[in-house]
Structure 1
Amino acid sequence: MDPLVATAVHALGDHPSVPQPASPPDFPSKLWAIADLHLSYKGNREAWEKLQPKPNDGLILAGDVGESAEHLRIAFTQATACFKHVFWCPGNHELYTMPAQKEAGARGEDKYMECVEIAREFGILTPEDDFMLWEGEGEICIIAPIFTLYDYSFRPAHVKLEDALDWAREENIEATDEYLLHADPHTSRIEWCNALLARTEAKLEATLAKHPGAKLVIAGHWPLREDLVKLPLVPRFCLWCGTKKTEDWHKRFNAKVVVSGHLHIRRTDWRDDTRFEEVSLGYPRQWQDCQDRGLDVNDILREILPGPSTGPPEPRSTTQWRKFG
């Protein structure tokens, strides 16, 4: 079983591209986000069917929609029926090559590009597309979906890279990625991560050069900062949660908001006047308390833009837990 289950129950293109303006909304629009829909679960599929229309708003799907093309199409069909603009970035689950596909299924970059092509069937913007200039309610921002992966650098200083997997296994922790997420044509997920980071940095730098002073909404599946990865029951799962190389990206790339998922622990944090939003739904048992209170997937959607009217709380490292949305 994915170790994030226990944690959440406990926790309460190669060339840089530049933004193109979005079509003006009919009235001031908002931007929302959700991640980790995990539509392989019947309960989550049924919940997603209850998504309510916000026809002039936008929605970020920040990874882990599911493992198959069918899951993607279910998610994208409903999202595009309800929202004017939809953005998607991959999580680890979209990249899985399932055992039944072992011989003929796409792997690594090919699996990722299959997902991108499905998103494009629905007019959804991905990390492979130009970033969008968002002119909805509040401050004008550039919406930047990204794909970064992880490199096992979220680990204590005394643990060497070559010992990292054994360190996690000492606590019976090992991500399913080690068996289903392949790096082809790269030699390892670390190598793939490094290539993704180089491409993404170039794209973000080109965007700011084109739009000096612009604020960004950076949306990816994995957290950009290690200090936002708090997994009380399975702390050693941190290995699969990001890379230290993105620690300062919110400052380097002038982020107004950073959106992520993956942890299955909903929260809002502030760092350096940047708002960080973990927006995951999670497996059905992880948000059963919400359903018991009469809440549904619409209550879990997080408002990204314009967002709260007040600034960060004091002290600025304070976390706002979002168990109920």
Structure 2
Amino acid sequence: MRLFTVSDLHADHPENRKWLEQLSRDDYLDNILIVAGDVADEIGLLSSSLALLSRRFRHVCFVPGNHDLWVIRSQLHSSFDKYRAVGQACRDAGVHTQACRVGSTLIVPLLGWYDYSFGPFNETLRANWMDFKACQWDGHDDAAVSRAFDELN
């Protein structure tokens, strides 16, 4: 058994989706893949991408990234609702979002959101960072969102 990890697949870009589709259907069937977010912001594409991966790996473990929670091009208006939809897409695809033990290996996906522990927030970020336009947190500020995800862990 081998353990692979990937992030930022951005399957909404055709060349990235093509790469996903060309992954071997045989070479990884005994392996684990950790997907550390940013598969796609469109829920249907995220669902189909995770389903594709789950057919190619023995186990797929996933934690959503910021792009996966964008609602700017979604019928959902809340990123909390999007998080729940992403969770359902994972369950439908057989993808782990909780702790997963495979033999002696334990994989524990952890959720997080901006807490600014690496640097102070400023208005330049708010004006220019797409997450502040594409994510909607029902009026909660980033600190509340960060605490909510911490509690889910």
Distance 1:73 1:196, change over 3 A: closer
TM-score (normalizing by structure 2): 0.89
Gaps of 5+ in 2: none
* 1:240-273 C-alpha deviation (Å, 9 max, x unpaired): xxxxxxxxxxxxxxxxxxxxxxxxxxxxxxxxxx
Give 1:88 shift: 0.8
Task: List structure 1 segments (4+ residues) > 4 angstroms apart after TM superposition.
Answer: none
| Contact kept in structure 1, 2:11 and 2:17, CA below 8 Å | yes
One-letter amino acid of the structure 1 residue matched with residue 56 of structure 2? C
Structure 2 counterpart of 1:80: 54
2:143 to 176, 186, 190: 190
C-alpha distance in 1 between matches for 2:109 and 2:116: 22
How far apart, CA to CA, are the structure 2 residues paired with 1:179 and 1:168? Answer: 11
Structure 2 match to 1:166: 123
CA contact (8 A) 2:51 2:94 kept: no
What amino acid maps onto 2:101 in structure 1?
Answer: L
Query: 1:74: how far off?
Result: 2.7
Deviation of 1:199 (Å): 3.5
Q: For 1:242-281, what aligned pairs fall within 5 Å after superposition?
A: none
Is 1:92 aligned to residue 66 of structure 2?
Answer: yes
Number of corresponding residues: 151
Structure-2 residue corresponding to 1:133: 101
- Mapped pair 1:179 → 2:136: no
Cα deviation, residue 177, structure 1: 0.5
Tell me, yes or no, if the aligned pair for 1:51 and 1:78 is still in contact at 8 Å: no
Report if aligned partners of 2:77, 2:136 keep a CA contact under 8 Å in 1: no
TM-score for the superposition, normalised by structure 1:
0.44
Query: Which structure has the bigger radius of gyration?
Result: 1
* Amino-acid identity (%): 26
RMSD: 1.9
Alignment correspondent of 1:143 = 107
Amino acid aligned to 2:43: A
SS at match of 2:31: strand
Quote the Cα distance in structure 2 between the aligned partners of 1:165 and 1:147: 23
Q: Is the 8 A contact 2:51 2:93 kept in 1?
A: yes
Question: Is the contact made by 1:165 and 1:174 (CA closer than 8 Å) also made in structure 2?
Answer: no
Letter in 2 for 1:190: A
Segments of structure 1 that go 5 or more residues without pairing to the other structure are: 1-28, 156-160, 201-325
Q: Distance in 1 between matches of 2:122 and 2:136?
A: 16
Shift in Å, 1:143: 0.7
Q: 1:69 maps to which residue?
A: 43
Q: In the TM superposition, what are the counterparts of 1:116-131 in structure 2 within 5 Å?
A: 116-126=87-97, 129=98, 131=99
Deviation of 1:57 (Å) = 0.8
State the shift of 1:168 in Å.
Answer: 4.4
Contact in 1 for aligned 2:69/2:79 (Cα 8 Å): yes
Question: Comparing both structures, which one devotes a greater share of its residues to strand?
Answer: 1
User: Higher relative contact order by CA 8 Å / sep ≥ 6: 1 or 2?
Assistant: 1
Distance 1:59 1:168 in 2: 32
Give the Cα separation in 1 of the matches to 2:87 and 2:81: 10
Query: Could you tell me how far apart the structure 2 residues matched to 1:37 and 1:151 are?
Result: 24
